[in-house]
Amino acid sequence: MLQAQASVPVQEAAEPTYSPIVDFWRRLRKNKLAMVSLVFLVTLSLVAIFAPLVAPYDPYFSDMPKALSSPSGEHLLGNDELGRDILSRIIYGARISLRVGLIAVGIALSVGMVVGSIAGYYGGRIDIIIMRFMDIMLAFPSILLAIALMAVLGRGVENAIIAIGIVSIPEFARIVRGSVLSVKENEYVQAARAIGNNDFQIIFKHILPNVMAPIIVRATLGISTAILETSALGFLGLGVAPPFAEWGTMLGSGRGYLFNAPHLVFFPGIAITLTVMAFNLLGDGLRDALDPRLRR
């Protein structure tokens, strides 16, 4: 009977082989929303990189007579309270906002993942020490902690990114630890030990790939939090200083003119919303495309 099963070459030809990357790309491409988001984010990144070529005006040139003027053919998104072209400022702002979002989340994710998986996998005393430390960090309002870190690190965009990254570590650590705890009791983890994997290989090959879904979702949401926290820091006079074009700072300085010139906050707000949404949708798409259980 066993031989019979083995000898039937069922649909061998009908199932072409794909390398995992090709397969992943094929599946991601089927997700329309994720693809639209990807195109949007790639375009945004290109615009940010080539900002001096793309932007119609100098984002720092103050054309005072045009201050607060509404969108027109000349200035597509209007001018701000100092007469600067809003479109150009949004384009330049993308440089900082994208960088802040990606790098800060990158820092938080990599540290949080290592720390959280160690705490969850080993448990016991190591777990208690690590997680109590994370709880202490969570006990402070994150912006307060970021301000304290900025006081140590000094002012500047780079330091703001680092501060926000550090402040977001505990949330990632907690999510990773919780997911690791739920996955590590699975029999395939014991099987991995029985066939000779060491702890490091078990964590990275068998546990972390199985906890990716909540982490990817949290990371894409974290990008938006990071962008907003940078602008909060900028608003408080730390991090990105006001003359610099940054979406959050633009929101902050434009909010005084909300009633007579709403386009000052409207367009940067739209930029933040669209970017955050694109990251989230792309994150959902990545999560699904990386899950072999959802193939076909």
Partner 1 sequence: MSTLVHISNLTKYFPVNKGMFSKEVSQVKAVDGLSFDIRQGETLGLVGESGCGKSTTGRLILRLLEPTAGKVEFAGKNVFEASASEMRALRKDMQIIFQDPYASLNPRMSVGDIIAEPIRLYKLAHGPEVQKKVEHLLSCVGLAAYHARRYPHEFSGGQRQRVGIARALALNPKLIICDEPVSALDVSIQSQVLNLLKDLQQEFGLTYLFIAHGLNAVKHVSNRIGVMYLGKMVELAGDEELYSNPLHPYSKALLSAVPIPDPRAKKERIILNGDVPSPVNPPQGCRFHTRCYCAQDICNHHEPIFKRIKPGHWVACHLVESEIE
Q: Is 8 in the site for partner 1 (CB under 8 A)?
A: yes
Residue 19 neighbours by CB distance under 10 Å = 8
Q: Is 206 in the site for partner 1 (CB under 8 A)?
A: yes
Nearer to partner 1, 201 or 273 (CB): 201
- According to DSSP H, which parts of 140-194 are helical? 142-153, 157-167, 169-184, 187-194
Q: Which of 21, 139, 152, 195 binds partner 1 (CB under 8 A)?
A: 195
Q: Please, what is the minimum distance in Å from the beta carbon of residue 198 to partner 1?
A: 8
CA distance 64 to 270: 25
Q: Please, what is the minimum distance in Å from the beta carbon of residue 268 to partner 1?
A: 40
**With CB under 8 A as the contact rule, which of the stretches 81-89, 102-110, 195-203, 253-261 interacts with partner 1?**
195-203
Nearer to partner 1, 73 or 295 (CB): 295
Q: Is 21 in the site for partner 1 (CB under 8 A)?
A: no
**With CB under 8 A as the contact rule, which of the stretches 50-58, 136-144, 257-265, 288-296 interacts with partner 1?**
288-296
CA distance 211 to 181: 10
Which residue in this structure is represented by tokens 């964590």? 203
Q: Residue 10: exposed, middle, or buried by beta-carbon count in 10 A (0-12, 13-18, 19+)?
A: exposed
Mark 152-191 with x for binding to partner 1 (rule: CB under 8 A) and - for no binding. Answer: ----------------------------------xxx-xx
Residue 79 forms beta bridges with which residues? 85
Nearer to partner 1, 10 or 139 (CB): 10
DSSP tag of 295: -
Q: Is 192 in the site for partner 1 (CB under 8 A)?
A: yes
The CA–CA distances, whole Å, from 160 to 99, 103, 164 equal 11, 11, 6
N- to C-terminal Cα separation, the chain: 30
- Residue 85 backbone phi and psi in degrees, to 5: -70, 120
**With CB under 8 A as the contact rule, which of the stretches 10-18, 143-151, 253-261, 263-271 interacts with partner 1?**
10-18
Site residues (CB under 8 A) for partner 1?
1-3, 5-6, 8-12, 15, 17, 186-188, 190-197, 201, 206, 209-210, 291-293, 295
